[in-house]
Chain A
Amino acid sequence: MTLKILYFASISEAIGETAESFDMEPGMTTLGALRTALGELHPELLTAKNLRAAVNRKMCDWDAVIADGDEIAFFPPVTGG
Chain B
Amino acid sequence: MEIAVQAADFDVGAEISALTAADPEAGAVASFVGLVRGGKVRAMTLEHYTAMTEAALADIVTAAKKRWKLRAVRVIHRVGCLLPGERIVFVGVASAHRGDAFAACEFIMDYLKTQAPFWKKEETAEGARWVDARETDDLAARRWRDGEED
Contact = CB atoms under 8 A, between A and B. Distances in A.
Is chain B a partner of chain A in the same complex? yes
A75 B133 CA distance: 12
Contacts of A9: 47, 119, 121, 130
Interface residues of A, number: 19
A79 B120 contact: yes
Interface residues of B, number: 27
Interface of B: 34, 46-49, 51-52, 55-56, 77, 88-89, 109, 112-121, 130-133
B112 A75 contact: no
Contacts of B56: 57, 59
Contacts of B47: 8-9
Given A57-B55, A59-B115, A80 B46 contact: yes
A8 B115 contact: no
Interface string A1-19: 0000010111001000000
Contacts of B119: 8-10, 75-76, 78-80
Nearest to B110: A81
Given A78-B119, A79-B118, A79-B120, A73 B112 contact: no
A39 interface: no
Nearest to A54: B52
B109 to A, nearest CB: 6
